[in-house]
Structure 1
Amino acid sequence: MLVFPSEQGKAYDFENNGMLGAVSSLVEAGRVKFYCVDSFDGASWSNRHAPVEERARLHGVYETWVLDEVVPAIHGDCEGPVEIITFGCSLGAYHAANFALKRADLFPMAMCLSGTYDPASWHGWGERGDATYFNNPLDYVPHLHGDHLEWLRSRVSLLLVCGQGQWEDTTGALEGTKRFAATLAEKGIRHELDLWGHDVPHDWPSWRAQLAHHLPRFV
C-alpha cells in the first residue's frame, strides 16, 4: 500500500497517529506492507499564492516523482512488480483516487477516507487549463468514454469512506465524497461508498477505525 498523508503531512504521520498500530496484525502476518511518502501540497494544491493551473502543474512534479522513483522502489523492495493499493485520508484521499484513476495499471485500487476530489475548488483562483483538468477527477471522470473507460471499469476499484460527524461537513468531505461516488456511478466505475454515523468526525481515531474495518477484506 502506498500511503499519501493528509494536507502538507509527512511520511511518519501514518505511524505517529496510530494507523500502523491499528492494522499491525496484518503487517506481522505478512499480508500487507505500507510505503509512506511526504506530501508536496505546500508547493502545489495548498499554495494559495499560485493560480490553480500553476498548482496543478507543480502537482505534476510530485506525480512524476511518485511514478519514476517511488513505484520502482516499491517493486524493488517486493522483488518484482506488484499491484499497489493507494491510500489516503483527507487531502491524501484525493491523491489516492487520482493516482488510481490515472494509472490503474499500477494502482488497481484506492482506499479513500474523508476526501474531497475537486482540487480546483480548494481556494483556487485563476483560469483552469489542461493541467488542472487532467488532475481533477470531477472534471475528467465525466468525460471518460470508449475503450479506456471500459478498461477502467474492468481494472480499477475505489473505496470511499466518510463519517457524518464533526468537520466532515465543514471540510467538504461528506458532500465531496457523495458527489464523487455519484460521478463514478454515472460512468459505471467500480466503487463502494461507506458513510459512517453522525458521531464519526473527521479525525485520526475515525480513520484508524475505518482502516482496521476495511483493510482485512483486501489483503
Structure 2
Amino acid sequence: MLVMNTEPASKPALKAVNDAPRPSKEEAMEAVRTLIAWAGDNPDREGLKDTPKRVVQAYREWFRGYDMDPAEELSRVFEDVSGYDDMVILREIDIESHCEHHIAPFLGKAYVAYLPTEKVVGISKLVKVVEVFSKRLQTQETMTAQIADAIDEALKPRGTAIMVDAVHQCMTTRGVHHPDVSTITTQFTGEFKTNPSLQDRFLKLIGKS
C-alpha cells in the first residue's frame, strides 16, 4: 500500500505535548496487572509477577521519543560544505514504532534525503530525528511528515525527501491477518516537491523505483 503525501493538510506537531501529569511507575504497573487480569490470566502467578515491572521498563524504551527534542538533535550544523549542493541520502534506517490505534508495533525502514544550502548536519543526527518520532505512538503518515518538517525547520534545505516502508502488526497479527502487506509513505518538500525528476532520482538511488 502506497501513501504519497507532498503537502500535509496541517503541519504536524514536532514536539510531544502532554499537559496531563504522568502517572507514577506504581500506577503504570497496576494498570498492567489489570490488563493481565482482563486478558484472563492471574497477575500473581509465578511467571507474571514481574511482568508489570518489565512492561513499564519496555514502555520507557519504546516511547523514549517523548523525552527527545528533534530541534536539539539537529542544532549542531556544519557550514563548510565546500560547494556541495547535491543530495545527502541515508538509506535503510531502522524503524521500530507503535501505531496509536492498537499500540501494536510497526517495523520497517526509513529513507531520508535533503538538498543542503549553506549547512549540513552530522548523518547520525538524521538517524536520531527518525528515532525521535518513531519512538512515540504514531501513524506512519504523521511520522513521515514530522521527519521532513523537522529537517526543513532546522536546516532550511532546498528540499527534503522522506520514504518509510513498514509492516504493521495490527494488520499481520490481528484484524485482516495479511502478513505480506507493507505500507509506503512519502513526503517531498521544496525542490523535491516541484521537480518530479528529483523525486525519481531519489527513488532510484534508494532502490525503490
Where on the TM-score scale, by shorter chain, does this alignment land: which range?
under 0.3
TM-score by length of structure 1 reads 0.27
Higher RCO (Cα < 8 Å, 6 or more apart): 2
Which structure has the highest strand share of the two?
2
TM-score by length of structure 2 reads 0.28
Which structure has the highest helix share of the two?
1
